[in-house]
Structure formats: structure tokens, C-alpha cells
A and B are shown apart, each in its own frame.
Chain A
Amino acid sequence: MFYREVGEFKTSYPQDSESFAIGLDKYGYYFILIIAFGIIPFLVNDYWANAVFVPFLVWAVASLGLNILTGHCGQISLGTGGFMAVGAYSCYKLMTSFPDLNIIFCIIISGVITAAVGILFGIPSLRIKGFYLAVATLASQFFLVWLFNRVPWFYNYSASGQISTPERSVFGVLVTGPNVQPWAQYLICLLFAFGLAWGARNLTRGSLGRSWMATRDMDIAAEIIGVNLLKAKLSAFAISSFYIGIAGALFFSVYLGAVEATEAFGINQSFLVLFMIIIGGLGSILGSFIGAAFMVLFPVLLKNILVGWWQWDAAIATHLEFISVGILIIVFLIFEPHGLAQLWRLLKQKLRLWPYPH
């Protein structure tokens, strides 16, 4: 009734291919942006920033990255944790080796370095597919974490083997280190998440994105149409790793401040990001955000309700969290392989006609 296409007159092809075709979508998008940029930074406190918003944004960037590779290009990767580690350690080395370099550039260059590593580990994808590729990327996960633990140069020979972020600021505002303000942490993550999501949307609707999706859906037909599979797959690995590297750099420098490779970038993180895109929606930008929000918020919510209100034992709450996430993943794989984003799409489809049946 209120969500409809009537009255939307498209008079050119650029208008017709807009991301938010229906008025209400567009306003909803602006509304969320205004709240995210204009209101939350003034209200956010330490708890909300560190338990909810910052991890949500960091994981959303990682999900965007994996979604480009797995959701759009159809190449399964279990190396996300390892690539995040590359981003984090590159960022650390850049910050300590070039103290004058702005943190924004440090983070972006970390992404570029991770992209190069991603291309290297993406080479097997030219020969192997599916499960076999997943196992090959699993090798990269273990190799990279091992590398950062074993070569002291990466953690600047610190006694604990940990890396911890020096204090850096942007326009005079501290964004990393122990004395950082929650709103500054939040805002820098938001800027990266917004910019990268916008870029991902542009890439996936253009010819590069179509070459990825063609590779995913039918690689033989893609090839005869003129898609260079080598280029399509390696570019997907590169760009996906760029995103994941930036997520790793933010995770280390802005969010946690100090990390140790095995603990922070283990195989669990690879699975976590994979679950995010499965629950959120494969091949969907919105899905990456919904999935990240779900996987970050769900444990917080469960803990608050079970431990905070009902006074349950914390250990039981944790187990319950594992069980319910496991069940949810199975349910989604069976009933809605395209995730929460698809449910949202179906809801909008229904809303277009509501309250009429046809």
C-alpha cells in the first residue's frame, strides 16, 4: 500500500539501474545513514561501542569480503582468519616502521598487501573447485597463523609474542591505542564499512561483478562469452582479500588494540565469517551486514537475557549459544540458502502488493 512502484517513473537506463529503486527503500537507506553518522556517535558509550557497534562493523567488512569471493564468485574459502591476520600484522608493521604515516593509509595499504597474499593463495582455484579448494584455503589459514607466530620479525621481537597498537590519530582525534574514545573508534570503523560497502555494490553490479557471478553459475558458458576465468577468479580473491585485510587491520588496531595470532585469527574466525554470510545471505551486500549483526548481537542478547535477567550460569549460556547457532545454520541451509537477506526480499515483494492478493 505504502511500499509500491506506482508513481516511480524511470525515464533513463541509469535511473532504472539504481540500487534503491523504490522511494521507501531510498528513504530508509538515507534514514539509516543519518542515524549511523549523525546520532549514534553522540550517544555511544564504551559498552555499546566495544560490545556491539565496533565488532559489528569490523565483521561486516570481513563478511563483505568473503561474500565477494564465496557469494558472488562461488569460490569457497576457509582462510578468512589467516587473511585477517595478514591485514593486522601488515598494519602493525606499517604503524611501527613509519610512525608518521597516517593510520588511514596504514589500514588501506594493509588491505593491498593482503590482496597480494590473497592472489597467491588463490592460484589453486584455477585448478580445483569446491571442497578441494576449501581444503587448499584451509592450508593458507594454518600456514599464515603459523608464520606470524614463528617469525619474530612480524611482532617486532616482543617478549609476549603479542602485537599491540601504538597511539595514532586522524585530524587530531585519537583512533587507536588504550586512550581512544568510543565514538572515534565507532566512526572510523563506520567510515570504512560504509565506503567499502558502497564500493562492493558498485563492483558487483558492473561488468567485473557479472564476470564473477557468471563464473559462479556456469563457468563453461562464462568462458565462451569472453570471461577470462583466471582473471575473474584471481580478481575476486584479490578484492575479497583486500576487504578482509582491512577488516583484520581494524580488528587489531581499532577494536582490540592488542592481539596474538593463534587466538585472534584462528580457524574459528574463518568459520564465524562463513556463518555470517550463510545466515545473512550469499551474494548480497545487505546480507553481509545482517549476518554480521546477527552473529555479533545474538550472543550479546542471549547472555543479557539468560545471565543478566534469569541468573543462569554463564557456561550454560555459552553452550546454549553454540547449540542455537548450529541449529540456525542447518535450518538456513535447508530452508533458505539465500539467508536473511532473501527473507527481507520476499517480505518486500509481499509488501508491494499488500493488501491485495495479486
Chain B
Amino acid sequence: MNETEVTDKVDTLMDIKKVTLRFGGVKALSDVSFNIKESEIRAIIGPNGAGKSSMLNVINGFYTPQEGEIWFQGKRRPKLKPHQIAYQRIARTFQNIALFEGMTVLDNMMTGRMIYMKSGLLPQLLWWGKAEREETENRMIVERIIDFLEIQHIRKTPVGMLPYGLQKRVELGRALAAEPKLLLLDEPMAGMNNEEKEDMCRFILDVNEELGTSIALIEHDMGVVMDLADRVVVIDHGEKIADGLPDQVRNDQNVIDAYLGVAH
């Protein structure tokens, strides 16, 4: 239970300290603290409406918490806009797929490289010099991710025409294209069949092992969570009720009560 306090400060990627988020009178998060270490898979679980997605929205800057601090890579993060946070290499996927439907898979993933695109208006207008070079360099990185996710065959298909499972995969690809230090996955396996889930688990583990990317994921499938996660934090009614290794959390009385209900 006291994981957070014994953590070595050096390899902590993100430290969330006493975050409180209110919408008017409603407290979405109250006094939540936990950390994410370098190269770990951190699961955030909890019943519906517990505040898990709000937590991710705080991390990538959609919501600004009224109280609390977020430390990233040893520095306290000032109030930033979501597009500025993208430049710190924090990428995410959404619970309901948020792809750019009118664009092809390739274009979606190239858009994921937005933070690396630096050529000015004139080279882009003339398709000359830096603009063209940049396009090719970034295309090579995107193609590696396409290979990794095994979606070569749908490269030039508009994403609106793809089935759900593939769309989820493309969305992961778009997040990976940013070469994130911290990857936030909001229910990456929702609505998938077992085979698709297995594929997705494999991709998540590979990303984590090969690239050393830290991953924070929200997931409802407990089997998946227990298998994938290094550590689990449990949120209920906006409060942290447990934090620790999967086995510890699984046997925690508070967690069992939150999921199954308590007799009063």
C-alpha cells in the first residue's frame, strides 16, 4: 500500500500530488496522489463514473485541477494547453475512438507526428527543401509503426471505412507515432473480441518492452489488467482507495467492496 512513498525519485516519470478536480459543486477527483515510473505499465481501474477518464484528462491538460500538482520528469508542470503538453511527448487514445475520419490511415498517423513537423509556410507551399525532406523522414518512422501494428494493407484506406477493431489499432498507431514517453490508453480493449484483445495486449506489451514507453491504462477487463499491469491504482467516487501490485489490489477489502457493494 505504501508503494508511493518508497519509490525512488529518480525513475519516477510522473508524480501526481493531491489532485482535486471540481465541476461546480461536483467533486470528480478528490485528493488523488499516485505516480508513474519510467517504463512501467500502470493500470487505473474503478467502477463506472469513478473519475478515471477525468484523471487522464487532467494528465493531458483538458482539465485543470483546482488543487494539487503534477510533476513530470522531475519538474513541476505549469498550467499548459493540451497542444503544449503534446510537445512533452504525452500521447493518448480515447474511450470512444477519436480518429480523423475523413483522412487515410497514413495521414492519421502522419498527423500523429505533428510535434516533429517544423517546416514553414513557404517550403510547404512550394513542396520544396525542408518540407519535402521532413515528409519523407517522418513517413519512414510512421511506416515502421505501420509494420509493427500489422496494418500495411489498409495504409491508404480512409479510417471511416475500417471496422472497429482496426480503428482502435490505428488510434494506438497514431499515439505511437508521436514517440511518446508516456502513453495514456483509455479503455483500449473496450468492445473487442478475445482475439482482438490478445492482439492489443501483445502490442501494448511490445511497446512497453521494446521502446520502454511508460503506459497508463484504464481498463475494465480485470483479466487483462492483472496480466498487463505492473502496478494498479483503484479510484472510486473520485478518491483513491487502493494502490499497489495487482495481487495486493485484488485482495484489498476496499476494492472488493467498491466493486461488489457493501451491506449496510
Contacts and interface: CB of A to CB of B under 8 A. Distances in A.
A25 interface: no
B150 to A, nearest CB: 19
A213 B102 contact: yes
A224 B111 contact: no
Contacts of B92: 224
Contacts of A222: 100, 111
A202 B125 contact: yes
Contacts of B121: 208, 235
Given A13-B140, A203-B125, A224-B91, A210 B114 contact: yes
Contacts of A226: 83, 86-87, 114-115, 178
Nearest to A238: B121
Q: Which bucket holds chain B's interface residue count?
A: 35 or more
Given A202-B126, A216-B102, A221-B98, A227 B114 contact: yes
Main secondary structure of the interface of A (DSSP, over half): helix
A225 interface: yes
A15 to B, nearest CB: 10
Contacts of B192: none
A116 interface: no
A88 to B, nearest CB: 24
A221 B83 contact: no
Nearest to B138: A207
A199 interface: yes
A210 B111 contact: yes
B7 interface: no
Interface stretch (B36-44, B127-135, B228-236): B127-135
A313 interface: no
Contacts of A216: 100, 102
Given A210-B114, A229-B83, A217 B139 contact: no
A189 to B, nearest CB: 20
Contacts, number: 109
Contacts of B102: 213, 216-217, 283
Contacts of B85: 224
Nearest to A213: B103
Interface in A203-262: 203, 205-208, 210-211, 213-214, 216-218, 220-229, 235
B103 A217 contact: yes
B110 interface: yes
Contact of A214 (B81, B111, B124): B111
B101 interface: yes
A160 interface: no
B126 A207 contact: no
A17 B138 CA distance: 13
A207 to B, nearest CB: 4
Contacts of A235: 121
A171 B153 CA distance: 53
A208 B103 contact: no
A208 B124 contact: yes
B83 A210 contact: no
A214 B82 CA distance: 15
Interface in A15-66: 17
A217 B100 contact: yes
B124 A213 contact: no
B83 A224 contact: yes
Interface string B76-115: 0000011101110001101000111111000100111111
Contacts of B87: 226
Contact of B178 (A205, A218, A225): A225
A14 interface: yes
A213 B102 CA distance: 8
A220 B61 CA distance: 11
B117 interface: yes
Interface string B54-67: 00000011100000
B157 interface: no
Lowest 6 A-B CB distances belong to which pairs? A226-B86, A207-B117, A217-B100, A221-B98, A202-B127, A226-B115
14 contacts: A12-B136, A13-B136, A13-B139, A202-B124, A202-B126, A206-B135, A217-B99, A218-B100, A223-B81, A224-B82, A224-B86, A224-B92, A225-B114, A235-B121
